[in-house]
């Protein structure tokens, strides 16, 4: 089983300059590869292989050196090669999605590769895993030297090391393979109903609050609005505009980290009970976002992110994950007698209590839905 770790780096001022230089070169090579592919396609040529493209950059490197431009030659060669390969991977994903759609398979289109912006794209670059060296709380990076880390990195074989910048700190991400351990999951099945009032309501009584109603998040969003207004008043490409952009990015980073941490904690609480099966709704999130009044609240909940992470966690913990059919109306069905509300009896968003006229059950609508989802584990 493959896992990954992300560890914060503590580079010096000189090393930060190198990081930024390598990240800019990686972006330049990716964009130049895409540009050459576009020109070749416009002239009726076939797709250029990644190996041919790599040779083009060897030629470009030598040509620039003749005119005294050594910035490409001074860079770690692995950064350039991997940027070329990343562009080729983007094209292969695009081609694969087209082939699958032609076969009638339902697949989310990867989209045609886009150019990476200097201002909005994530700064990152690659380092060959075979050239990594570890010494306590430091890691050796090619043409940069030993960089301090916040914690020691175990010595083992790693795959696809990436150095990334999140707007405030630099990190190194490492993938590695571990032995698969079979956990003992003997707990009761759990049904999870996702909502807006509460982020998630589970059939075992666990309620995960909506973090967007938290005072900390609301104050941070108000701060973001103020900075966005301030940013709109600044002259484009001015120093003050650049300063405000940096402040805005840091606030976006904070909100992202708060919500991401909330999702991780919610999944940990659900998995801690060691259920045999977890049943969730198969939500049409894109369709729900068409609701103009609720689209902002729905997008802030990050349900798609939660379901994707839960799926990976269930796979790692060997928990069976069931996605209920989209036509299954878990909210409109009584969890005791299975009576289904129809017509004018159907619950609307403002109705928070489920009342069954057949058996007299009165229950919170979200908890009732989670019990119905739990029942699907036995089907």
Strand 145-149 to 207-209 pairing: unpaired
In order along its 379 residues, the chain shows pLDDT tens digits of 788 999 999 999 999 999 999 999 999 999 999 999 999 999 999 999 999 999 999 999 999 999 999 999 999 999 999 999 999 999 999 999 888 888 777 667 788 999 999 888 999 999 999 999 999 999 999 999 999 999 999 988 999 999 999 989 999 999 998 887 777 778 889 999 999 999 999 999 999 999 999 999 999 999 999 999 999 999 988 999 989 999 999 999 999 999 999 999 999 999 998 999 999 998 888 888 998 889 999 999 999 999 999 999 998 888 999 999 888 888 888 888 888 888 888 888 888 898 888 888 888 999 999 999 999 987 6
Spatial distance between the Cα atoms of 35 and 24, rounded to a whole number of angstroms: 16
Q: Which two tokens stand for residue 250?
A: 């840091």
Q: Kind and range of the H or E element at 285? A: helix 285-288
Q: Kind and range of the H or E element at 24? A: helix 13-42
Can you say whether residue 344 is alpha, beta or left, with left for phi > 0 and alpha for psi between -120 and 50 degrees?
Answer: alpha
Q: Kind and range of the H or E element at 355? A: strand 353-355
Helix axes of 13-42 and 50-66: crossing angle, nearest 10 degrees = 120
Helix axes of 50-66 and 77-102: crossing angle, nearest 10 degrees = 150
Is the sign of the CA dihedral 90, 304, 327, 375 positive or negative?
positive
pLDDT at 107: 67
pLDDT at 344: 82
CA 72 vs CA 20, 252, 311: distances in Å = 14, 33, 42
Residues composing the chain: 379
Helix, strand, coil percentages, rounded to 5, for the chain: 45, 20, 35
């Amino acid at each position: 089983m493959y896992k990954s770790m992300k560890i914060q780096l503590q580079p010096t001022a000189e090393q930060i300059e190198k990081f930024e230089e390598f990240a800019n070169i990686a972006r330049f090579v990716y964009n130049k590869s895409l540009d050459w592919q576009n020109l070749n396609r416009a002239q009726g040529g076939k797709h250029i292989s990644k190996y041919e493209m790599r040779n083009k950059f060897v030629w470009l490197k030598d040509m620039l050196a003749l005119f005294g431009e050594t910035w490409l030659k001074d860079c770690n060669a692995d950064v350039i090669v991997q940027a070329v390969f990343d562009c080729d991977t983007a094209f292969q994903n695009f081609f694969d999605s087209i082939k699958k759609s032609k076969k009638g398979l339902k697949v989310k289109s990867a989209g045609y590769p886009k150019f990476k912006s200097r201002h909005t794209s994530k700064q990152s670059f690659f380092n060959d895993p075979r050239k990594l060296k570890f010494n306590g709380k430091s890691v050796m990076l090619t043409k940069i030297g030993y960089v301090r880390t916040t914690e020691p990195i175990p010595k083992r074989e790693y795959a696809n090391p990436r150095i990334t910048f999140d707007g405030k700190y630099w990190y190194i991400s490492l993938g590695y393979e571990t032995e698969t351990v079979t956990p003992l999951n003997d707990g009761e099945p759990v049904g999870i109903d996702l909502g807006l009032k509460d982020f998630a309501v589970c059939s075992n009584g666990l309620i995960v609050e909506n973090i967007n109603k938290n005072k900390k998040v609301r104050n941070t969003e108000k701060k973001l609005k103020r900075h966005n207004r301030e940013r709109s008043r600044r002259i484009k490409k001015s120093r003050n505009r650049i300063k405000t952009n940096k402040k805005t990015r840091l606030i976006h980073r904070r909100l992202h980290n708060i919500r991401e941490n909330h999702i991780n904690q919610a999944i940990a609480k659900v998995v801690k009970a060691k259920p045999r099966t977890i049943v969730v709704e198969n939500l049409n999130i894109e369709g729900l976002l068409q609701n103009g009044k609720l689209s902002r609240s729905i997008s802030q909940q990050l349900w798609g992110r939660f379901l994707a992470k839960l799926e990976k966690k269930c796979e790692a913990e060997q928990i069976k994950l069931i996605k209920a059919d989209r036509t299954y109306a878990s909210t409109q069905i009584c969890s005791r007698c299975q009576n289904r509300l129809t017509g004018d009896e159907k619950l609307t968003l403002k109705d928070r209590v489920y009342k069954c006229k057949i058996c007299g059950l009165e229950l919170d609508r979200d908890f009732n839905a989670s019990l119905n989802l739990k029942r699907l584990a036995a089907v």
